[in-house]
Amino acid sequence: MNQNDAAAATMGPPANAQRLFLASCVALIVTAMTFAIRAGILTELGEGFDLSDSELGWVNSMAFLGFPIATMFGGFLYNVLGPKKLMWLAFVSHLLGLILTIFAGGFWTLLISTFFIGFANGTVEAACNPMIADMFPTNQTTMLNRFHVWFPGGIVIGALCAYLMGNMGIGWQWQIAIMLIPTAIYAYLIFGQDFPENQHMETSTAVNFKNLLSPLYIFMILCMTLTATTELGTQQWVERILGKAGAHPMLVLMLVTGLMAVGRFFAGPVVHRLNPTGVLWGSSIIAAIGIYMMSIATGGMVYLAAILFAVGVMYFWPTMIGFTAENMPKTGALGMSLMGGAGMFATSIWQPIIGGWLDKEREIARAEGLSAEAADLAAGQATLDNIVIFPIILIVAFGILFFYMRSRKAQVAPVV
């Protein structure tokens, strides 16, 4: 433990740390709600603005593009501007993106508004991850897991809002407008607050860059592309993959994200017992089993497979960020931001590929004489067979990481 961390352990977190942590969580809820609600209104947007599926795909892609751009530049800006200005930038971007969406007149305004929302979402990650690591330097991975409770939690909230408001006949504009409420709440929570200074995160961009080139960081970036695609790639296509499997896809999504939220909230004992590398290794094994089971399950068994999948992926994202903060602190806020950005960017790249798998497998099934419903089921199961390759690769990668980190700690352990 260096002198700064020793001082932090003595002094404890800032007096307003819990308020800033709460603000971060509410901001992440907004981020998650944008994913859930936008997914629920795509049909209405297509019909209302006479947009093709291809055009809707471009609109969706703006959210995935805005996110990594924000995290990439946010890592630089955190060193220069600090978390307070980044949080206000996220608020302004959320406000602008949501209002532009509500008053959108067609394809181009939707494209621009969605980019602003994606940029806001990425800025939240860029500001909050290093700020939380800085406020809780002796408990980073646990607190980052508790923070990331509210991504799956926010998806549940957003899905419920979209479902209930849709059933009541409330239009898509009001479903977008509902997100202005948590946006205003996190602005209130950060208003007039003193933010922590960058005492425990490396703030020299030159030092950050040097450490970004370390073999361990590059290895973890590559792993992040696989963990994020395993988690988000599967969830984004849940309706198309499981629509004919005899289970309600939205119930599956709510089950998965609800369990993820609970698991992340109680992450502390799990991380303490297994350590981050043990958590990552175990998660990859369970995720592989869960996806494989979903690829062969029908009816009620789909829900059991979904539970295993949720347990497998629930710790991936925050533990990858926490591992970076704890084991590669000299990468600083830039390292954490790029880690998250790499995960989201990889997810955006794999989206059309996963869609292509579905199209190809459906054509093969129809050529074999299967009915449309049976072809959809076969295509979804075959696509899951392809996706399971990601966690299988991670089982090997995180197994190597587990033994590497254990040997490294043994080498630096003091002799008594």
What CATH number is associated with residue 266?
Answer: 1.20.1250.20
Q: Domain boundary residue among 192, 215, 239?
A: 192
The H helix count followed by the E strand count for the chain is 20, 0
- Between CA 118 and CA 177 the distance in angstroms is 16
Which of 126, 160, 192 is the C-terminal boundary of a domain?
192
User: Which residue, 187, 127, 121, 132, is CA-closest to 154?
Assistant: 121
Answer with the one of 165, 192, 219 that is the final residue of a domain: 192
Q: In this structure, how many other beta carbons lie within 10 angstroms of the beta carbon of residue 203?
A: 18
Phi-psi region of 340 (alpha: psi -120 to 50; beta: other; left: phi over 0): alpha
Integer Cα distance of 309 and 245 in angstroms: 16
Cα 84 from chain centre: 22
pLDDT at 6 over 90: no
Kindly state whether residue 259 falls inside one of the protein's structural domains. Answer: yes
Nearest to 29 by CA among 180, 232, 239: 180
Which structural domain, as residue segments, surrounds residue 325? 204-411
Residue 119 shares a structural domain with residue 258? no
Q: Within this chain, do residues 125 and 226 fall inside the same structural domain, yes or no? A: no
Count of C-beta atoms within a 10 Å radius of residue 45? 18
Averaged confidence pLDDT in the chain:
84
Whether residue 50 is contained in a domain is answered as yes
Alpha carbons 291 and 258: distance in angstroms, whole number = 18
Extract the runs of DSSP E, i.e. beta strands, from 215-312.
Answer: none
Tokens (6 digits) for 339:
């880690």
Task: Judge if 186 and 240 occupy the same domain.
Answer: no
Please check whether residues 237 and 375 belong to one and the same domain.
Answer: yes
The answer as to whether 3 is a domain residue is: no
**Looking up tokens 């609109």, which residue turns up?**
59
270 — pLDDT class (breaks 50, 70, 90): confident
> Do residues 396 and 296 share a domain?
yes
| Of 54-58, 81-85, 156-160, 380-384, highest mean pLDDT | 380-384
Query: What does the pLDDT read at residue 37?
Result: 82
The reply to whether 211 and 167 lie within a common domain is no
Residues 155 and 208 both lie in one domain: no
The residue ranking higher by pLDDT, 139 or 12, is 139
- Give, in degrees to the nearest 5, the angle at Cα 225 between 65 and 97: 20
The Cα 341–Cα 212 span in angstroms is 14
The one-letter code for the residue type at 154 is: G
- If asked whether residues 182 and 301 sit together in one domain, one would say no
pLDDT tens across 236-246, in order? 667 667 777 88
Q: Which region holds residue 369: left if phi is over 0, alpha if psi is between -120 and 50, else beta?
A: left
Through-space distance between the first and last CA atoms of the chain, rounded to whole angstroms: 18
Total number of domains constituting the chain: 2
Q: Are residues 49 and 138 in the same domain?
A: yes
% of the chain at pLDDT higher than 70: 90
Write out the H or E segment, with its range, that includes residue 179. none
Query: For the whole model, what pTM was predicted?
Result: 0.76
